[in-house]
Amino acid sequence: MAQSTQPHGRSDDQSTWATIVRNDGKPHPLQDTLAGITLVLGLIAIGTCGFRSLHILASWTGLFGIFSAIWGQYISATTTERFLLVIGGGAAAVGFGIGLAHGGLLGGVVGY
């Protein structure tokens, strides 16, 4: 029975991020970048949603994080990318929701 094997060690030309995300052995620069952006937006949204004065930042980064997670899920190629997109998108959604509860996307800026 023929089985294909992949090396378990990390080669010198691959970074740690590439080793974690690229579990099929093929490069996916757009998908990897989108997963990273979604994680960063999710972390910003969840980190700033606890402060009432930062509700605009939390709301907008959460909204952009949700959209990037949706787009990333649509074009993702590996399970690891999907996992990172779900974590980042979930954090962005929580930050977006709490940011909306604290004043919303434009609360206080346009006079209401």
DSSP states of 14-34: S-HHHHHH-TTSS--HHHHHH
Q: Output the pTM of the full model.
A: 0.78
The answer as to whether 16 is a domain residue is no
pLDDT in tens, 10-57: 555 566 766 666 667 788 888 889 999 999 999 999 999 999 889 999
The answer as to whether 110 is a domain residue is no
The answer as to whether 63 is a domain residue is yes
Instruction: Specify whether the CB–CB gap between 59 and 104 falls below 8 A.
Output: yes
Please report the beta strands in 18-100, taking only residues with DSSP state E, as ranges in sequence order: none
- The terminus-to-terminus CA distance of the chain in angstroms comes to 70
The answer as to whether 5 is a domain residue is no
Q: Give the range of the structural domain holding residue 35, as residue numbers without chain letter.
A: 28-101
Q: Based on the structure, what is the number of domains in the chain?
A: 1
